[in-house]
Amino acid sequence: MSTATDQILEQLKSLTLLEASELVKQIEEAFGVSAAAPVGGMMMMGGGAAPAEEVEVQTEFTVMLEEVPADKKIAILKEVRAITGLGLKEAKDLVEAAPKAVKEALGKDAAEEMKKQLEAVGAKASVK
């Protein structure tokens, strides 16, 4: 950056909100532009449809073990071993480290089914 732009940037940082608002109005008048129109147009274009489409195209889900009640720990441990194929020590470490991912890159139906299996034995689980 040049020295001139550095100086302008430092001056902008010291403006109050009222002064910044006045500056925007002056720039709009001087250059015949509007600061509001591009922002509004971008919000309309990308605001409503894009996030919904992203959610719909999510194809891989992660099953998270959120919470393990102490009195249900053994049953949850057995279920985690059955789901993951982990050994006893690895499954125990996973259960004790909750919240922790149990399985990643699953289809939606498989992830929902796994969540139901974990909840059936007393765990709190979620799909992300």
Q: Dump pLDDT digits (tens) for 86-127.
A: 888 888 888 888 788 787 777 888 888 888 888 888 888 888
φ and ψ of 75, to 5 deg: -65, -40
Q: Dump pLDDT digits (tens) for 13-53.
A: 888 888 888 888 888 888 887 766 554 444 444 444 445 44
Pairing of strands 124-127, 61-67: antiparallel
Domain 61-127 top-level CATH class: alpha beta
State pTM to two decimals.
0.49
Burial (CB < 10 A; 0-12, 13-18, 19+), residue 111, is buried
Domain residue ranges of the chain, discontinuous segments joined by +: 3-53, 61-127
Examine the pLDDT at 6 and tell me if it is beyond 80.
yes
